[in-house]
Structure 1
Amino acid sequence: MPSATDELIQRLYESPPEGFVAARTAAIEQARQAGDKATAKRLAALKKPTVAAWVVNLLALRRPDLIEELVELSTALRDAQRGLDGSALRELTAQRRQVVSALVAAAGKLARGEDRSVKVPLGEVEATLTAALAEPEIAAQVRTGRLIRAATYAGFGEVPRPRLRLVTDEADVDSDDAEDHDEDADEGGEVVEFPQQSARERAAEERRKRELEQRRRELRRELSNAQSAEKRADTQLEKAEAAERDAGHVVEDLDAELAELERRRTEAQADVARRKQARRLAEREAAAARRQVGDVQAALEDLESDLSDC
């Protein structure tokens, strides 16, 4: 059974993102007032989801059965790919499109049910569900109902990368042509004898092969350097994206703090106004009391004067 904190977190990720920061701040304050520092720290670590992530979270939390259907289809697709089952793969691929479309429609309906004014980014939702279909790790994240941003996937399944061949040697073409000529000769029943290469021709061919081999080594070095540069650039991009997200979270937290300070300022101003009114009332009561004291003293003096005359 989920704890009260887990249920609170689920409500935060089910609610529209525009109210996430304020609701999280209120929950943190409540936990702190209760002396529950662990819960307050856990809540403070939660990040505001994008609209697309929120829509997917709604689907995962409200319709987990649909997510399980997606996961089962993903498993079937991977099995078909491993087994090279073409007919099953074609059928499952068509089914994949139908399932993803149905899930996107269901997610959009849930989101509009929560907030009619929300503009659902269906493309990002579809990309996230497609990524979950292809990657078990992404599917596991979707299942939690706590995504903070949409996911993407460039391809699908465990398809091996193609082996690329760089054609640089014209001798390959000549060899293929020679084989074709040999086959033609065999079919015609005639054997054609080619003249032997001269020493000069053989030397030129060897020189060209060395040049091509040298060029191939250079291209491989360039490819290796380019791949290293690409990897470094991807790492820098990931760091930059993470830094941008963290900065965005800081802004969100500061906005929440500013809103809280503004609320406290308004309450303090109202309290000052109430205390000012109370002070004025006290001043009036003090003045009336002083007047009463003066009146009583004057009456007492008159009475004492009359007594002395008797």
Structure 2
Amino acid sequence: MAEMSRELVDRLYTVPPDGFVAARAEAVATARAAGDVAAAREIAKLRKPTVAAWLVNLLVAHRRELVAELVELSAGLHAAQRELRGPQLRELSAQRRRVVSALVGEARTLAVEADPRLAAGKLPLAEVETTLNAALADADVAEQVRSGRLVRAASYAGFGEVPRPQLRLIVGGPEEAEPPGAGAEGAGAPTAGPAPEARPETARRRRDARSTAAEAKSAEAKSAEAKSAEAAEAKAKAAETAEAEAEAARAEARTSRRRALDRALADARARQERAEAELARVVEVERDGAATLAELEKALADLQRRRVAAERAVGQARVARKAAERGAVAARRRVGEVQAAVEALAAEDRSSGKPGRAPGKPVREAHSSG
């Protein structure tokens, strides 16, 4: 227990009971992860409190001044009981009821603050009241309550406003130093019975013996009840320890699974980074390709315009060529016609005995004279 932090234990015993096992398992796993095996083992042994015990622990944690007032009131009640001061005892009893009632109300308020779901449920406030009254009557119970680590409600059947009688068996004494008939005077005397003055003492002894027997029987019954309660508590503690160990094992499994998931997440993130880097590279390549394509399309459009202009120039040249061809044909036809006329004229001249001209030579005089 020395290995554990007091703050940790106090915190665990103010956790609502339905979350105690999980909180304890988490604390065990944390201690094991820190390498503190002894503390983890001691934490696993902590017992789960009942709802009533949890409510009392809440009072100790958050209303310590009221619990201290209850303890002071207990001392006054015990003193008044011992001295049988009736008026003071009645006043202290009334004060006890007020303090206990206030503590019970505070317990309910603290429970609802810790877990609002409890506002609609029924809380074991009667057990809280019984435990507080037991703390007033029994110093051991008071010490358990003040520790803030109560695991179950307590009760004290013997508490009351009138103190219980302190009964004991008186053995020995002047009257018993010499039993009747043991002295010399009684050696031959008749044993008719005890002297009259010895009868009250005998009756008192009988009453004391009966009371002692009753107390012994009550003590035996309480001892048997205590043993039964101890056995039940041991069984409950064993069950809680097994539950704690199982919860710790589950927590360890969750931790292992979390580590595996963390590794898987790190691997997935690395793959994501690589994929995103590849995506960025491909996007860059696509951007460069798009730019190249745009340049080529621009060049293609320019070539297309130049092609259209060239086609237009070729068409115009073709038209001019055809016109030139027609002109050439007409010129050749005219040359042929003129040549034929010249040849015809030369033939006429030969036939008339006039000197002819060389073919193809123009006759300027004839044209000029004619």
TM-score of the superposed pair, with normalisation by structure 1? 0.62
Alignment of 1:5-20 (within 5 A): 5-20=5-20
- Give the match's secondary structure for 1:54: helix
Shift of 1:261: 5.7
Q: For each residue in 1:121-173, what CA deviation from the matched residue of structure 2 results, as whole angstroms up to 9, or x when unmatched?
A: 1011111111111112211111111111111111326822487xxxxxxxxxx
Which residue pairs with 1:152 in the alignment?
Answer: 155
Is the CA contact (8 Å cut-off) linking 1:55 and 1:120 kept in structure 2? no
Asked whether 1:65 is paired with 2:65, we answer yes
Which residue pairs with 1:52 in the alignment?
Answer: 52
Q: Distance in 1 between matches of 2:143 and 2:105?
A: 21
Q: Distance in 2 between matches of 1:160 and 1:128?
A: 20
Shift of 1:235: 4.6
Q: Distance in 2 between matches of 1:82 and 1:13?
A: 36
Which residue pairs with 2:348 in the alignment?
Answer: none
Which residue pairs with 1:240 in the alignment?
Answer: 231
Identity rate, percent: 46
Shift of 1:41: 3.2
Q: For each residue in 1:36-55, what CA deviation from the matched residue of structure 2 results, as whole angstroms up to 9, or x when unmatched?
A: 23432332232111111111
Which residue pairs with 1:306 in the alignment?
Answer: none
Shift of 1:268: 8.1
Which residue pairs with 2:100 in the alignment?
Answer: 100
Q: Distance in 1 between matches of 2:213 and 2:56?
A: 42
Which residue pairs with 1:291 in the alignment?
Answer: none
Q: How many residues align?
A: 229
Q: Distance in 1 between matches of 2:142 and 2:219?
A: 30
Q: Distance in 1 between matches of 2:268 and 2:81?
A: 79
The 3 A distance-change label for structure 1 pair 45 and 87 is same
The 3 A distance-change label for structure 1 pair 42 and 274 is closer
Q: Which moved more, 1:227-236 or 1:44-53?
A: 227-236
Shift of 1:275: 11
Alignment of 1:175-186 (within 5 A): none
Which residue pairs with 1:139 in the alignment?
Answer: 142
Is the CA contact (8 Å cut-off) linking 2:26 and 2:251 kept in structure 1? no
Q: Which moved more, 1:230-239 or 1:20-29?
A: 230-239
Is the CA contact (8 Å cut-off) linking 2:47 and 2:237 kept in structure 1? no
Q: Distance in 2 between matches of 1:77 and 1:67?
A: 15
Q: Distance in 1 between matches of 2:74 and 2:215?
A: 34
Q: Distance in 2 between matches of 1:117 and 1:44?
A: 27
Equivalent position amino acid for 2:15 in 1 = S
The 3 A distance-change label for structure 1 pair 263 and 110 is same
Which residue pairs with 1:80 in the alignment?
Answer: 80
Q: Distance in 1 between matches of 2:234 and 2:82?
A: 39
Which residue pairs with 1:175 in the alignment?
Answer: none
Shift of 1:253: 1.6
The 3 A distance-change label for structure 1 pair 49 and 223 is closer
Q: Distance in 1 between matches of 2:86 and 2:215?
A: 35
Q: Distance in 1 between matches of 2:222 and 2:124?
A: 30
The 3 A distance-change label for structure 1 pair 153 and 256 is same
Q: Distance in 2 between matches of 1:100 and 1:222?
A: 35
Is the CA contact (8 Å cut-off) linking 1:67 and 1:143 kept in structure 2? yes
Alignment of 1:284-299 (within 5 A): none
Q: Which has the larger radius of gyration?
A: 2
Q: Distance in 1 between matches of 2:16 and 2:143?
A: 22
Q: Distance in 2 between matches of 1:231 and 1:101?
A: 29
Equivalent position amino acid for 2:243 in 1 = E
Q: For each residue in 1:221-268, what CA deviation from the matched residue of structure 2 results, as whole angstroms up to 9, or x when unmatched?
A: 996995686356325413322233223313422441453266357558
Cα root mean square deviation, aligned: 4.0
Which residue pairs with 1:122 in the alignment?
Answer: 125
Equivalent position amino acid for 1:159 in 2 = P
Which residue pairs with 2:25 in the alignment?
Answer: 25
Q: Distance in 1 between matches of 2:93 and 2:219?
A: 34
Gaps of 5+ in 1: 164-201, 203-212, 282-310
